[in-house]
Amino acid sequence: MNFLRNTFAVLVGLAVAGILISLGVRLNSAWITYDEYAPFKHWKSLLQSMEHKPYFFVALLISSGIGATIGGVVTAVLVKYAKVAYAILIGFILLFIAMLDIIIYPYHPTFYKILIFLTFFPCAWMGGKITEIIYKRKKRKLQRLANKK
């Protein structure tokens, strides 16, 4: 049963990260070169049109970091054990997808290729740590209430 729960948690965390990255890409109406909500179906044409616009890739890095952090939080909340490890797994999967993106489509600037490594793991780890800290505080608060009674 834990396997299904953990798999579900990872899928939900990835979905949340994908939605947040999609929102980040839609920040500027000039970047929208497609009709659908999510840009992933038309990713090649989007990257081609944004090739010489570095601010798009800065926004993509920021939204990827936020997506990895919140996706890591969601995953860590849903799994029962090893919360930080599963949050880091979200970062690893997102990094793997981003590396495939960089390999398949040559339209990314050099700073993006370098900073992508420094974005996903720390942000996903931070999401797991946020959840761990919240759970520890909640546990301490419940212990204090139990000791008062």
What is the per-residue pLDDT across 82-136, written as a single tens digit (0 to 9) for each? 999 999 999 999 999 999 999 999 889 999 999 998 998 899 999 999 999 999 9
The per-residue pLDDT for 76 is: 93
What is the per-residue pLDDT across 56-73, written as a single tens digit (0 to 9) for each? 899 999 999 999 999 999
Token pair of 22, please? 């999609």
pLDDT at 38 > cutoff 70? no
Q: 85 is in which domain, residue-wise?
A: 2-147
Other C-beta atoms closer than 10 Å to the C-beta of 80 total 11
pLDDT at 16 > cutoff 80? yes
The per-residue pLDDT for 6 is: 94
Q: Are 121 and 84 in contact (CB under 8 A)?
A: no
Q: Are 86 and 7 in contact (CB under 8 A)?
A: no
Task: Name the domain count of the chain.
Answer: 1
pTM of the model: 0.86
Cα Dmax for the chain: 65
CA pair distance 91, 121, nearest whole angstrom: 5
Q: How far apart are the first and last CA of the chain?
A: 35
- What percent of the chain stands above pLDDT 90? 57
